[in-house]
Structure 1
């Protein structure tokens, strides 16, 4: 069972907004056994919409459209859909008018003809009640293909997908099971991991696929299985995960995205009843943001100092001015004093500090762009490592965050 997602709106094409709708819809369809064949973004243009609908109908079983259902003149989706279905007519749905009026009474907003237009839908449409907004969703079944039109507002679309669209799809079609297991790794690149597990990958059965999902400092290995027997698929996936654990045990942090570096760090700190603080320069608080993104992090994370300037390093962390003058702010010595300073001030068991040149300029240092120093101080050890993360700026910052957490994880273990 294949689906295509069509997003409508010039704001997507010019980069004014990021298309998160397709991501959510794709995830939810996959959970119920529907594979997304293609995602298409098009203009608010009648002919473009007609062409996209025709092409999608030839490719897939389910077409899901988001956007273009507002009350203003530039929102032309439902008129175009009506034209696509043999010039269907728009008719007024009294239940939609009733719903909109009830919503507007709550916020003391007048009901007018602009809102009345929202209640006009193609006569062939099955109404999908939008409890969170004024634009209803629409369901069509024509020539063996399901067409679903949803508002583009993300929280409205999500409500309709969850409450109405997915249950209808599951009722109408016999769906296979699509299961995933994602193995989280750190510390080695995609090509090195691929070489180490080449034999494993070559021997996978045709209904199990392996995908490499690299990002800064880490690679996710996603195993996907598709079939009609859920119990058998789950067992085979678990067996394959166990095989990968035997091949690359030292670089695996856990299973699925919930087992991120920061979550694994937090779990270990809780188990050991230890605490951590951070001092950041080039990363501007991103290490702290990662750590506190984990629920319950207040049990072990005590705080951060973002000391971007030399003055703040001196005044807040008591880094020696003589150290900065002698070695510059991007140095092993300054990173170590930053880590000691934050550990002392917040009285923690561990402290991480980072300083470096993210670029594009090197300011007042003698170090090239990409040079980063990460210091880790614990109750029993002091470590400072130098890295060259290259360019551009975003890459340097993200790799610094991941490497700092990786060093911390190793030290705690």
Structure 2
């Protein structure tokens, strides 16, 4: 049994390089390999060009001992993976009778007539180990050469995932005696990556050799991912939890969750725990905040509704924003955000309400209020909190950042209101 396993994932297909489809296979495969202790060290995408594929195989073999290949196994002429494997391994295609029987059964069950192209799906390199695909027509293939395992899988995610789960992962686990690779994530918001790094520098420097830290920034949030390697799952979990306990006092005000927690799920939990409700009043985000809140199953238990008050007329007629406020301060102002949130709380009859108003861009800014100027507010039973955001010159990013910060303002407002009640 081999004790060290490193993997490279190769995706084949012009459609990935051209951006016509999103490569979700690599992310999923990487997670599955990590879960069984095989460390992915590189991912490579190549088009449907014979030499590029051959070069990718050769280069991968110099770096790793497991190569996972997806794509290029269809019945049409542009799918050349099998032919390229034949060239790489010095063999030729032949009809595999097991594969042919499975393909024949696949079409018979669906009442469809097989074509010659369908029959060629069963043509496999002579020296591969056939991996039956019970979920489609493109078989998997397993090769070994000079101590390197090559696995070829269909690119269709549903077929690939089933082949990996039921065929490939068990074989890899049986082949390698691997260390456990365990991740723990701390989710933060409201602090930049560099400032966060400064706050925890001493803690990071003191991390044990077998625990590594990565910073993963995304739309106003930074994930701190601890990755530990060991041989005992319980010990490793305990060590990671101990490191989390050490760093939390340094950054607790910015931490909203752990691992797969999302702001919208955390908020939902807080609202249900306090038997509270929320509504939204949105201008520059156009309903995106409502979309995020309602993306959580069961959100109808605490979310009442939204007013997308894109125009000043709706701000005044529905939310009750004062014409004098708009005249004196404008739609993008602390005063307007405050009145929008308070109006939404009143109209929707909720415990809390959040509002957004700003200049998402790319145009519409002024010297006094440039693109990216956004005000958010959260109205509670006791008071209304406001926050000024100075964002970027990108409409999509500004909308997503505003949503993230607005949800966080709601989270902090709920916690403050809860503490006030308990106090």
**Same fold, TM exceeding 0.5?**
yes
Tell me whether 1:225 sits opposite 2:228 in the alignment.
yes
Aligned mates of 1:265, 1:408 — CA distance in 2: 8
Aligned mates of 2:112, 2:320 — CA distance in 1: 57
From the superposition, tell whether residues 313 and 71 of structure 1 become closer, same or farther in structure 2 (CA, over 3 Å).
Answer: farther
Shift of 1:231: 2.4
Tell me whether 1:23 sits opposite 2:23 in the alignment.
no
Gap regions ≥5 residues in structure 1:
none
The answer (yes or no) to whether the contact 1:282–1:357 under 8 Å persists in 2 is yes
Structure-1 residue corresponding to 2:418: none
Q: Secondary structure at the match of 2:62?
A: helix
From the superposition, tell whether residues 344 and 129 of structure 1 become closer, same or farther in structure 2 (CA, over 3 Å).
Answer: farther
Aligned mates of 1:314, 1:109 — CA distance in 2: 62
Tell me whether 1:95 sits opposite 2:98 in the alignment.
yes
Tell me whether 1:9 sits opposite 2:36 in the alignment.
no
Structure-1 residue corresponding to 2:258: 255
Shift of 1:144: 1.3
Structure-2 residue corresponding to 1:44: 48
Gap regions ≥5 residues in structure 2:
416-423
Aligned mates of 2:349, 2:110 — CA distance in 1: 50
- Output one character per residue of 1:316-372: Cα deviation in whole Å (capped at 9) or x when no partner: 545455644554332233323332333233221111110110111117996321110
Structure-2 residue corresponding to 1:85: 89
Structure-2 residue corresponding to 1:33: 37
Q: Secondary structure at the match of 2:114?
A: coil
Give the aligned CA root-mean-square deviation in angstroms: 2.0
The answer (yes or no) to whether the contact 2:316–2:322 under 8 Å persists in 1 is yes
Q: Secondary structure at the match of 1:385?
A: strand
Q: Secondary structure at the match of 1:48?
A: helix
The answer (yes or no) to whether the contact 2:107–2:113 under 8 Å persists in 1 is yes
**More deviation, 226-235/347-356:** 226-235
Aligned mates of 1:309, 1:99 — CA distance in 2: 61
Equivalent residues in 2 for 1:51-70 (5 A)? 51-70=55-74
Structure 1 moving runs of 4+ over 6 Å = 363-366
Aligned mates of 2:286, 2:101 — CA distance in 1: 50
- Output one character per residue of 1:173-193: Cα deviation in whole Å (capped at 9) or x when no partner: 111100111111111111111
Tell me whether 1:154 sits opposite 2:131 in the alignment.
no
Q: Secondary structure at the match of 1:149?
A: strand
Structure-1 residue corresponding to 2:364: 362
- Output one character per residue of 1:228-257: Cα deviation in whole Å (capped at 9) or x when no partner: 222222221111111011222222122212
Structure-1 residue corresponding to 2:219: 216
Structure-2 residue corresponding to 1:294: 296
The answer (yes or no) to whether the contact 1:339–1:351 under 8 Å persists in 2 is yes
Equivalent residues in 2 for 1:11-410 (5 A)? 11-86=15-90, 88-257=91-260, 259-314=261-316, 316-320=318-322, 323-362=325-364, 367-410=369-412
The answer (yes or no) to whether the contact 1:330–1:365 under 8 Å persists in 2 is no
TM-score scaled by structure 1? 0.94
